[in-house]
Copies of this chain bind each other. A is one copy, B any other.
Amino acid sequence: MTAMTRARPLVIDSHRDSNVCLTCGARAFSVCHVIDTADLDKLAAAAVSVSVQPGHTFIQEGDPAEHFFNVTAGTAKLYKLLPDGRRQVTGFAGMGYFLGLAVSSSYAFSAEALEPVKICRFSRAKLRGLLDDFPALEKKLLEVASNELVVAQEQMLLLGRKTARERLASFLIARANLVPHCPGRGGVNVAERIHLPMTRSDIADYLGLTIETVSRTLSKFRAEKLIEIPNNAEIVLLKHDAVEDIATGMV
A residues at B contact (CB < 8 Å): 80, 82-84, 86-88, 90, 101-104, 108-109, 131, 135, 138-139, 141-143, 145-150, 152-157, 159-162, 205, 207-208, 248-250
Contacts and interface: CB of A to CB of B under 8 A. Distances in A.
A159 B102 contact: no
A31 to B, nearest CB: 12
B153 A156 contact: no
So how many copies of this chain end up in the complex?
A: 2
A135 to B, nearest CB: 7
Nearest to A108: B150
Chain B CB within 10 Å, residue with most, of A101, A131, A153: A153
A161 B88 contact: yes
A250 B150 CA distance: 31
B88 A208 contact: no
7 interchain residue pairs of minimum CB distance = A160-B208, A159-B159, A152-B152, A145-B145, A82-B249, A88-B157, A103-B146
Chain A contact surface mostly: helix
Contact of A159 (B138, B142, B208): B208
Nearest to A103: B146
Contact of A138 (B142, B147, B152): B142
Contacts of A88: 156-157, 160-161
Nearest to A248: B83
A248 B81 CA distance: 10
A150 B82 contact: no
Nearest to A142: B142
Contacts of A148: 149
